[in-house]
């Protein structure tokens, strides 16, 4: 699933390509992707003629601010990613009109297209789990779903004191707590593993057992890893692609995630994978002791 760095990379890519563009048409072969309003025709009616005034992120949600006080919310879920380009329909499939990264097979699962007054915006999603919603801006900001989202880890106001306070009294394993969007926004499987490895904290360690020094290391590495991943434009070992269809470059910085059986880059011992809840955790048992 695209996490904070991948979503932020997408937002920045969209801002440079579709700002001030106007929606003129829309198509889908999977109407269930649109969760709000009910019915694709009603959704389409709500966006046509609307201009894109801003693109921003909240947690893993892409928020496209439209004229008329509307917000187009897109959550890419497991395998979804937004693309900007030109496509034509051929042999029952949407194919890019030119050569380049949009021709990557990962970009071929297009189930939603927006025609803009210049260019096209498409959503490719192999698993078809992505969520698309159209909101009134004020209603979205005041919704129960949005109000319960935790703080943004890269906000300047989110200092170590705030980090320590939100973890105080929390129960559970540190990896699961870091991944809880109601605790901290936007950290998922990839970056929780990478943060904890660099902080030398075992992913199954209970939060209430963490010492102040360990909390400081987690906070410091979080503030280092996430901006670095954004600078490298995300992780593309799986489905994520940038809006031009090309890959991000964080893979060269990935130390443990999905590297079970390989040697730890610090000590040379074998990286292991264990289950925590319904997710996996990758770690070095020598560097990250429980």
Catalytic residue set = 2-3, 60, 279
Identify the CA nearest to 249 among candidates 4, 3, 5: 5
| Spacing of C-alpha 133 from chain mean position | 16
Alpha-carbon gap, residue 191 to 37, rounded angstroms: 33
Q: Tell me the residue length of the chain.
A: 290
Spell out a b/e string for 100-118, using b for 16 or more CB atoms within 10 Å of the CB, else e. ebbebebbebbbbbbbbee
Alpha-carbon gap, residue 106 to 40, rounded angstroms: 25
Counting Cβ atoms within 10 Å, is residue 234 exposed (0-12), middle (13-18) or buried (19+)? buried
Query: Residues 139, 140, 145, CA angle at the centre, nearest 5°?
Result: 120
For residue 18, CA distances in Å to 52, 95, 120, 162, 213 come to: 7, 20, 9, 35, 44
Let me know: does 270 contact 263? Beta carbons within 8 Å.
Answer: yes
Q: Where are the beta strands (DSSP E) in the chain?
A: 23-28, 34-36, 52-58, 61-66, 70-75, 80-85, 87-90, 93-96, 110-116, 120-125, 131-136, 272-276, 279-283
For residue 241, CA distances in Å to 25, 133, 156, 234 come to: 24, 22, 28, 8
Identify the CA nearest to 60 among candidates 9, 14, 128: 9
């Amino acid at each position: 699933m695209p996490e904070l760095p991948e979503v932020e990379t997408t937002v920045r890519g969209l801002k440079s390509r579709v700002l001030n563009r106007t929606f003129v048409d829309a198509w889908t072969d999977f109407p269930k992707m649109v969760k709000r309003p009910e019915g694709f025709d009603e959704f389409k009616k709500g966006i046509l003629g609307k201009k894109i005034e801003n693109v921003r992120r909240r947690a893993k949600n892409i928020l496209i601010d439209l004229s008329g006080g509307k917000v187009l919310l897109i959550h890419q879920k497991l395998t979804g990613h937004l693309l900007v380009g030109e496509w034509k329909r051929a042999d029952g499939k949407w194919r890019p009109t030119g050569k380049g990264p949009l021709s990557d097979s990962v970009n071929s699962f297009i189930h939603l297209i927006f025609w803009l007054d210049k260019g096209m915006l498409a959503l490719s999603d192999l698993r078809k789990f992505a969520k698309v919603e159209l909101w009134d801006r004020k209603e979205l900001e005041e919704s129960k779903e949005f109000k319960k989202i935790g703080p943004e880890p890269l906000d300047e106001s989110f200092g170590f004191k705030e980090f320590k306070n939100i973890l105080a009294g929390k129960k559970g394993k540190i990896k699961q707590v870091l991944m809880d969007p109601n605790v901290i926004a936007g950290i998922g499987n990839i970056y929780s593993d990478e943060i904890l490895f660099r902080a030398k904290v075992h992913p199954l360690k209970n939060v209430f057992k963490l010492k102040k020094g360990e909390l400081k290391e987690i906070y410091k590495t979080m503030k280092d890893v996430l901006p670095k991943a954004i600078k490298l434009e995300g992780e593309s070992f799986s489905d994520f692609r940038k809006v031009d269809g090309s890959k991000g470059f964080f893979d060269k910085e990935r130390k443990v995630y999905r590297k079970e059986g390989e040697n730890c880059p610090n000590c040379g011992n074998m990286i292991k994978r264990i289950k925590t809840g319904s997710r996996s955790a990758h770690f070095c048992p020598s560097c990250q002791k429980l």
